[in-house]
Amino acid sequence: MVSDALPNPSEALTAAEYVAQLRQLKAWSGLSYRELERRAREAGDVLPYSTAASMLGRPGMPREALVASFVRACGAGGEVERWLAVRKRLAVRYEPVAGASGGVPVPAELPRDVPAFTGREAELAALRRPSRRPAGAGAVSLISGRAGVGKTALAVRLAHQIADRYPDGHLFLRLGGSGPRGTSVPPKDALALLLRALGAAPAAPPESVEQSVAAYRGSLAGRRVLIILDDAGSFAQVRPLLPATPSCRVIVTSRGPLSGLAAGDGAHRMSLEAFSDAEAVSSLARAGAAGRLTAEPGAALRVARMCGRLPLALSIAGAFLAGRPGMSVGSLADRLAAERRRAEAAAPADEDSVAVRAVLSLVYRTLPPRGARLFRLLGLHPEPECDAAVAGALLGVRPPEARRLLRALADVRLLTEPVAERYGLHELTRAYASDRAAVDESWEGRSQALCRLYRHTTGGFPANAATTGGFPANAAEQPLECGQDMRTRAPLEIIADLERLFAEVAKGTAELKGMLLDRD
């Protein structure tokens, strides 16, 4: 059971885990970013809300002065020295030694390696080999393929295998190319995020994309940096993000072929296919039910094929089987077949979507009510990841309870945990969760969840938030106001307005965040 006690930084073994402890400290304080900024200012510290949010959203080691200001603002002033001592111990691994990178920050943003990664040895070997490229350009690898085939997992596994070749930093950026229309990250915003991670953000925002590109490429000159650009939507989105130095390496993932990138930039292009039958069964076995799968080879193959031999569906099905020691593989195959028939009858869809939705539906039906509700509400959240505070806001519970539910969803592979205490949804899983929210949640439920998220984002919680972990004890039942009586507006209009608002918030621009704070 998760405790409400003050988080212990000594439990952190990596920079990412240290940042996770800082996120827990914020949840413990019950304060919004706006309130933290105000408290820091009253104490003579400088802690802009956007800086604090950026610190908690990235796995790299934050600056010492920033940590001290943040801990004091959270109300743990007596613990500052302890937090800084742990930071000093961990920073030896994450900050540059004398002479490395000219003393500039060394970003460490790689997500966790996938623990149950299976196969792809030939693909990894091919990607590890140096590729031919235009003079002066860094190596570029493009991994393309359909949804759920394991592009990101392969890119992350490759990055961990070659990370030591790039001592000046590792960057990871989700471009959102396969998300809903209008949610992909524009090049200018992507460049701003990369420059910030490299410690090269200009004092004033560049006036044009060209100026941002020049600053970005200049900051990479002479450095050995590994960059993953995940889920690219187009050649135009990726092109400005490519370094102009041969010492860097870029790994791009995309559902599309991005043929312009392959032709113009000498990219090593790999089209990823679904697993073979043998690889698919092996992937199922990695979840822990190898004995039953071996005893029922025919049923195991049926399950693998009904999962489309897609890593995403296989990992969820494997975890489902492993969590039920009394279930036969044949029984799982029969239940998946029934779910596939329902998925096919519900709406026309391609084979891959049917395979993934069938296994998601199977697991969703077995979730306890509160876990199922959190899962579908996460489909409304506009950002690719969340922590316990955000999940708690959506569900109307305190962060410790939200954290327990998030971990339970991750255990059944409905969520990933790319960084300690931050959870994400695959785009196909997000689409399914969003669909379930539309069907299983009333419009009042969806509206209230987004209102709670709005209040959490803008610091609009009641004065007793600090003593209730950030949320009033009866948050789920409280009438919520969004600036206008919801009964006077059409349900879909309210939902559409709120979802558009948070789609804008998800872009992460400081200007928009300032506007939101001013409204409160």
- Write the DSSP symbol of residue 289: I
DSSP 417-455: EEETTEEE--HHHHHHHHHHHHHHS-HHHHHHHHHHHHH
pLDDT tens digit sequence for 38-70: 898 888 887 887 778 778 876 677 888 889 999
CATH 1.10.260 fits 9-95, yes or no: yes
Average pLDDT over residues 355-369: 94
Pairing of strands 385-386, 422-424: antiparallel
For residue 251, give the 3-state DSSP assignment. strand
Amino acid identity of residue 195, one-letter, is L
* Closest among 411, 390, 409, 386 to 399, alpha carbons compared: 390
Q: CA-to-CA distance for 291 and 282, rounded, in angstroms? A: 12
pLDDT at 248 over 80: yes
The answer to whether the CB of 226 falls within 8 A of the CB of 171 is yes
* Closest among 173, 132, 101 to 384, alpha carbons compared: 173
Which of 216-219's residues contact partners 24+ apart within 8 Å by CB, and which partners? Answer: 216/191, 216/240, 216/241, 216/243, 217/243, 217/244, 217/245, 219/104, 219/195
Average pLDDT over residues 196-223: 83
H-assigned helices in 163-244:
187-197, 209-220, 235-238
* Closest among 67, 54, 48, 63 to 9, alpha carbons compared: 67
The answer to whether the CB of 232 falls within 8 A of the CB of 103 is no
pLDDT at 363 over 90: yes
The Cα angle at residue 72 between residues 69 and 77, in degrees rounded to 5: 135
For residue 185, give the 3-state DSSP assignment. coil
Q: What pTM was computed for the model? A: 0.69
Q: CA-to-CA distance for 400 and 61, rounded, in angstroms? A: 24
**Cα–chain center distance at 294:** 35
Count of beta carbons in the 10 Å neighbourhood of residue 66: 18
Residue ranges of domains in the chain: 9-95, 121-271, 277-364, 369-519
The answer to whether the CB of 490 falls within 8 A of the CB of 367 is no
| pLDDT for position 96 | 42
Place of tokens 């001013």: 518
The answer to whether the CB of 461 falls within 8 A of the CB of 471 is yes
pLDDT tens digit sequence for 89-121: 877 554 443 334 445 678 888 888 877 777 888
| pLDDT for position 180 | 63
pLDDT at 129 over 60: yes
The answer to whether the CB of 193 falls within 8 A of the CB of 508 is yes
CATH number of this structure's domain 121-271: 3.40.50.300
Phi, psi of 144 (to 5 degrees): -115, 160
Low-confidence winner among 20-29, 294-303, 330-339 (lowest mean pLDDT):
20-29
Amino acid identity of residue 156, one-letter, is V
**Residue 478 — pLDDT band, cuts 50, 70, 90?**
very low
| pLDDT for position 485 | 34
Place of tokens 């969803």: 409
Pairing of strands 226-232, 170-174: parallel
Q: CA-to-CA distance for 449 and 470, rounded, in angstroms? A: 15
Q: Three-class SS string for 226-248?
A: EEEEEEECCHHHHHHHCCCCCCC
Place of tokens 């004398």: 98
- Residue 122 burial (CB < 10 Å; 0-12/13-18/19+)? exposed
Phi, psi of 196 (to 5 degrees): -65, -45
pLDDT at 291 over 50: yes
| pLDDT for position 9 | 86
Q: CA-to-CA distance for 105 and 160, rounded, in angstroms? A: 19
Helix 15-29 to helix 49-57 angle (10° resolution) is 130
Identical fold between 9-95 and 121-271: no
Q: Please report, rounded to a whole number, the percentage of residues in the chain having pLDDT higher than 70.
A: 79
| Nearby residues of 163 by Cβ (< 8 Å), 6 or more positions away | 110, 170, 226
State the average pLDDT for the chain: 79
Tokens of 483: 């600036």
Average pLDDT over residues 490-497: 43
